[in-house]
A and B are shown apart, each in its own frame.
Chain A
């Protein structure tokens, strides 16, 4: 069995919110001028991740199936004179890098993942196998436009970040466990977000042979 304790949690559901409104809502959380080149996903992930106070000794596991959909769309639309800025911000781990480069905050271990129905399991497994004392699990999606029409972007926009530690400590919000078990199942990233956002207790199969048990401490709900 693999286990970690949830010490901090931040989530942001930007369902139905236009990118300009998201930018307007979150820009005060970043230094003046820093948000000009930030993507919607960068703003959302940066906002929730910054609430955990990331530091050099933390491990960071970042999960996003589609990553920077809008930057990808913009970069592709910039041909035949491709935009260097959109090229560099369209790479998969960009959302986390936008925050940490802005803060000049190095981090030893950073594992960006993509994936389908097993993405939540793979991200949790990466967190629970990390040898770092504190691991920050973060993730999110931003809705696409023409990429979405082809099934190549998320329909939803959201972000989450949770600080996971080996020891429970005082004030722990909850506990997440992965254990091997008979049966099969999966847990999409959107569903993991919903569980975290609602602080919902969950026990169920998240991959073939793997069960996740997520329990919130009553007082912290």
Chain B
């Protein structure tokens, strides 16, 4: 398949979720905990309670500067290396939300101090200045596959020899803007998400999350291979019912994984049709692979989910045990859905997949270097 970059190495990868860093998050998922709590969908203005996972101590309503900035800076303090944003060490920032919570606050309450964080370029510039990066910071935003685009673009720059190492940083923090939007679409409701489970009505949860990855051509313990994208352009908010769009995306990753024993970390937001489509496509592309989804406990971290969940997958592989798929005893969509945690010791790698508005699909294969 055209466009699949050669494998690239991961020097470091980390994340923050309401559970803490990647290690704390993986441990909480293994214990079967959920970070989702019912929160009024419009924050201080009330509304229906919906399942949201907010970073500890953070309200849904934004502040100026944003309350999430401290957590993001704490995450970035753990990024190894210096000189990010220079010609040989470019940064790829990805998000679906950027500082859109500030935009909501600006419009609702009229405080102009929120404006500095309100648009992708201005929000990224604020972060760049806070972190002391150089100017080479590119911005990718493609809804819930945004982080995959950052990884792919960084891989290409490295493979072309245009950089020594590249940093991908992704962040998405909730606000009444995004909660209100998904609530208006009726997929964020009072029900809690149970990905890959058969039930009467689907439901998603949303979560705060941020993550980073440092990529290199020639060092690192992990390898990203088979990075693929496919955009079916069928409908703004749904996929082709026959799953062929997602199948097309998985072809390239399956090719990279040929001969390997893999497990499958799915997107799994908790909607029913998309869940069935994903399970069906995963079974065809990776027969026998256990399928897991973690958004039932973390919520959907939107444009950052691909990188947040990659960091957790690395932690699970390192620890030798993957968390199962959070749920409450409902039947799984297929026998291959791993409801309980399982040992990753006998596997060669994990396929990580994400889906987005517009029928956008992305997948990659993570394995030991």
Residues of A within 8 A of B (CB): 2, 57, 59, 65-67, 72, 75-77, 79-84, 87-89, 91-93, 97, 100-101, 103-119, 122, 125-126, 129-133, 146-147, 150-153, 180, 207-210
Q: Do A106 and B229 contact each other (CB < 8 Å), given the known contacts A101-B358, A115-B121, A131-B3?
A: no
Contact check, B143 vs A91: say whether CB atoms are below 8 A apart.
yes
Q: Do A101 and B233 contact each other (CB < 8 Å), given the known contacts A91-B357, A111-B149?
A: yes
Q: How distant is the Cα of A133 from the Cα of B237 in the complex, in angstroms?
A: 29
Q: How distant is the Cα of A109 from the Cα of B50 in the complex, in angstroms?
A: 34
Contact check, B236 vs A150: say whether CB atoms are below 8 A apart.
no
Given known contacts A82-B180, A109-B3, A126-B156, what 15 new A-B pairs fall within 8 Å (CB)?
A65-B119, A79-B104, A82-B184, A92-B120, A104-B233, A109-B229, A112-B141, A113-B141, A114-B124, A126-B153, A131-B3, A147-B118, A150-B118, A180-B162, A208-B135
Contact check, B230 vs A150: say whether CB atoms are below 8 A apart.
no
User: 21 A-B contacts, Cβ less than 8 Å apart?
Assistant: A2-B160, A59-B3, A66-B120, A67-B141, A72-B103, A82-B183, A84-B186, A97-B357, A106-B232, A108-B1, A109-B3, A110-B142, A111-B140, A111-B142, A113-B138, A114-B119, A114-B140, A133-B2, A147-B118, A152-B122, A208-B87
Given the complex, which residues of B lie within 8 Å of A103, measured CB to CB? Answer: 233
Q: Is B112's CB within 8 Å of the partner chain A?
A: yes
Q: How distant is the Cα of A209 from the Cα of B108 in the complex, in angstroms?
A: 43
Within 8 A of A (CB), among B290-320: none
Q: How distant is the Cα of A216 from the Cα of B275 in the complex, in angstroms?
A: 49
Q: How distant is the Cα of A107 from the Cα of B3 in the complex, in angstroms?
A: 12
Q: How far is the CB of B24 from chain A (nearest CB, A)?
A: 31
Residue of B nearest to A110 (CB): B231
Q: Do A113 and B143 contact each other (CB < 8 Å), given the known contacts A57-B2, A107-B233?
A: no
Q: How far is the CB of A120 from chain B (nearest CB, A)?
A: 11
Q: Is B20's CB within 8 Å of the partner chain A?
A: no
Q: How distant is the Cα of A180 from the Cα of B359 in the complex, in angstroms?
A: 37
Q: How far is the CB of B64 from chain A (nearest CB, A)?
A: 13
Residue of A nearest to B249 (CB): A108
Contact check, A116 vs B121: say whether CB atoms are below 8 A apart.
yes
Q: How far is the CB of B255 from chain A (nearest CB, A)?
A: 14
Given the complex, which residues of A lie within 8 Å of B122, measured CB to CB? Answer: 151-152
Contact check, A97 vs B233: say whether CB atoms are below 8 A apart.
yes
Q: Is B47's CB within 8 Å of the partner chain A?
A: yes
Given the complex, which residues of B lie within 8 Å of A109, measured CB to CB? Answer: 3, 229, 231
Q: How distant is the Cα of A76 from the Cα of B121 in the complex, in angstroms?
A: 19
Q: How distant is the Cα of A210 from the Cα of B87 in the complex, in angstroms?
A: 9
Residue of B nearest to A100 (CB): B233
Contact check, B119 vs A66: say whether CB atoms are below 8 A apart.
yes
Q: How far is the CB of B164 from chain A (nearest CB, A)?
A: 13
Contact check, B236 vs A97: say whether CB atoms are below 8 A apart.
yes
Size class of the contact patch on chain B: 35 or more
Residue of B nearest to A101 (CB): B233
Top-7 shortest CB links A-B? A87-B181, A114-B120, A122-B138, A92-B141, A84-B184, A100-B233, A150-B115
Q: Is B185's CB within 8 Å of the partner chain A?
A: yes
Q: Which of B124, B152, B180 gathers the greatest number of chain A CB atoms within 10 Å?
A: B180
Contact check, B233 vs A87: say whether CB atoms are below 8 A apart.
no
Q: Is B256's CB within 8 Å of the partner chain A?
A: no
Contact check, B153 vs A118: say whether CB atoms are below 8 A apart.
no
Contact check, B156 vs A129: say whether CB atoms are below 8 A apart.
yes
Contact check, B103 vs A76: say whether CB atoms are below 8 A apart.
yes
Contact check, A152 vs B138: say whether CB atoms are below 8 A apart.
no
Given the complex, which residues of B lie within 8 Å of A122, measured CB to CB? Answer: 138-139
Instruction: Report which of A80, A114, A132 forms a contact with B121, defined as CB distance below 8 A.
Output: A114
Instruction: Report which of B87, B121, B142, B184 forms a contact with A112, defined as CB distance below 8 A.
Output: B142
Q: How far is the CB of A108 from chain B (nearest CB, A)?
A: 6
Given the complex, which residues of B lie within 8 Å of A111, measured CB to CB? Answer: 140, 142, 149, 152-153
Q: Is B219's CB within 8 Å of the partner chain A?
A: no
As a 0/1 sequence over residues 236 to 247 of chain B, the CB contacts with chain A under 8 angstroms (1 = contact) are: 110000000100
Contact check, A101 vs B3: say whether CB atoms are below 8 A apart.
no
Q: Is B7's CB within 8 Å of the partner chain A?
A: no
Q: How distant is the Cα of A210 from the Cα of B357 in the complex, in angstroms?
A: 34
Q: Do A76 and B177 contact each other (CB < 8 Å), given the known contacts A65-B120, A84-B185?
A: yes
As a 0/1 sequence over residues 86 to 128 of chain B, the CB contacts with chain A under 8 angstroms (1 = contact) are: 0100000000100000011011100010010011111011000
Contact check, A84 vs B138: say whether CB atoms are below 8 A apart.
no
Q: Is B130's CB within 8 Å of the partner chain A?
A: no
Instruction: Report which of A59, A81, A119, A152 forms a contact with B119, defined as CB distance below 8 A.
Output: A152
Contact check, A106 vs B231: say whether CB atoms are below 8 A apart.
yes
Residue of A nearest to B86 (CB): A208
Q: How far is the CB of B5 from chain A (nearest CB, A)?
A: 7
Q: How distant is the Cα of A61 from the Cα of B358 in the complex, in angstroms?
A: 16
Instruction: Report which of A59, A76, A105, A209 forms a contact with B233, defined as CB distance below 8 A.
Output: A105
Residue of A nearest to B187 (CB): A84
Contact check, A93 vs B143: say whether CB atoms are below 8 A apart.
yes
Q: How distant is the Cα of A168 from the Cα of B157 in the complex, in angstroms?
A: 23
Contact check, B157 vs A125: say whether CB atoms are below 8 A apart.
yes
Q: Is B21's CB within 8 Å of the partner chain A?
A: no
Q: How distant is the Cα of A151 from the Cα of B124 in the complex, in angstroms?
A: 14
Given the complex, which residues of A lie within 8 Å of B125, measured CB to CB? Answer: 116
Given the complex, which residues of A lie within 8 Å of B357, measured CB to CB? Answer: 88, 91, 97
Q: How far is the CB of B271 from chain A (nearest CB, A)?
A: 15
